[in-house]
Every structure is written in C-alpha cells, then in structure tokens.
Amino acid sequence: MKNYGYDFLSVPAVKEELIPENSSVKEAVTLLAEQKAKEVAESYPDAVVIGADTVVALDGRIMGKPKGETDAFNMLKSLSGRVHEVLTGVCILSPDKRHTFCERTEVEFYPLGDDKINAYIRTGEPMDKAGAYAVQEYGALFVKRINGDFFNVVGLPISRLAQELEAVVNIKNNLM
C-alpha cells in the first residue's frame, strides 16, 4: 500500500482463525478478515483498521497452507491444468463504520508434470502459501490465465480497496 500512496502501520493479528462449519468460501474469508480487523481494532480504537485474508479454493473447498512437502505436491497436482479461485475478504473498521467485501479471481494453471512440481517444492516457496504457490514468485510459471484482479491473487485487491476506502471512510491515497 505504501507503493500506492497510503501511510499506514502494519499490525498482524495473532489469534486463532475460526471458521463456522458449513460456511461458503466467500463467507469464510470475509469472516476471517473481520476477525483480524476486530482484533487489531481493540488496540487501535480510534483508527481505521483494514483486515484481510486470502484463500485459494478448488471445487468450493479451501486449500490452506501445505502441512509438508507431500501435502504441497498433492495441492499443486490437484491445481494442475485446472481453474481455481482466489478469494480475498476485506474488512474496513473505523470508529463508526464496518464495511466488508470479497474479491474473487479465477486462476488457470498449465498442466504440471511431477518433476516440475517437485522442483518447485525444493525451492521452499510453496510451504507457507495458501494453495502451495505464490503468483508473484516462481509460481507465476504455472499460470496460464488470470481472470480478475492480479493483485487479489498476490493477496490484496489494492485497486478495489482504494475505491472502498474512499467511498466508505473518505481516505484517499497521497498520489492523486
């Protein structure tokens, strides 16, 4: 956000993320963003707080961060040659307002051979990434097509967030 003219403080939420059973992917990611925003807002009650969470989903199921190399391999193999969704839930909290939204982007992977998947896993990159890949790093080599906001796949739909900040709490960037 600094690259786009916003002054802010980054404060990570640390509490356990809780998703109610039978939540849709959209409901889950929006709820996670709201949980994060509320946690941080407790320490900054007079500030505008933005909470966000991004997930990768295939066939309506959330793919978290891999638990190990086998899990990473299985995730990437399941994404191979297929279209999946990346959803980011965002919650904007101010002292007098609460606004949430969800941005959805479709990503299609090229078919991936086992050797290519294993080479990627050896880089270590997939181990702390939802869906076991990072589109802004080596994982970009797997992407055939993106339908929607590229920055959403990176983890924050900055353009939509800028629009929402201006409309909801009248915060503008320092560039324009």
pLDDT at 175: 64
Nearest to 76 by CA among 18, 30, 141, 13: 141
The Cα 119–Cα 166 span in angstroms is 43
Q: Which residues pair with 154 in a beta bridge?
A: none
pLDDT at 17: 82
| DSSP calls for 7-66 | --------SPP---TT--HHHHHHHHHHHHHHHHHHH-TTS-EEEEEEEEEETTEEE---
The Cα 37–Cα 62 span in angstroms is 21
Averaged in consecutive runs of 10 residues, what is the pLDDT profile of the chain (176 residues)? 77 86 93 96 94 96 95 98 98 94 98 98 95 96 97 94 88 67
Q: Long-range contact list for 19-27, CB < 8 A, 24+ apart?
A: 24/60, 25/55, 25/57, 25/60, 25/61, 25/62, 25/85, 25/87, 26/87, 26/89, 26/102, 26/104
Q: Using alpha carbons only, what angle is made at residue 59 by residues 57 and 60, rounded to the nearest 5 degrees? A: 60
pLDDT at 16: 83
Would residue 53 show up in a list of annotated catalytic residues for this protein? yes
Indicate the length of the chain as a whole number: 176
Identify the CATH number of the domain defined by range 2-169.
3.90.950.10
Q: Which of the following is catalytic: 46, 53, 114, 149?
A: 53
Q: What is the pTM of this model?
A: 0.91
Domain boundaries, the chain: 2-169
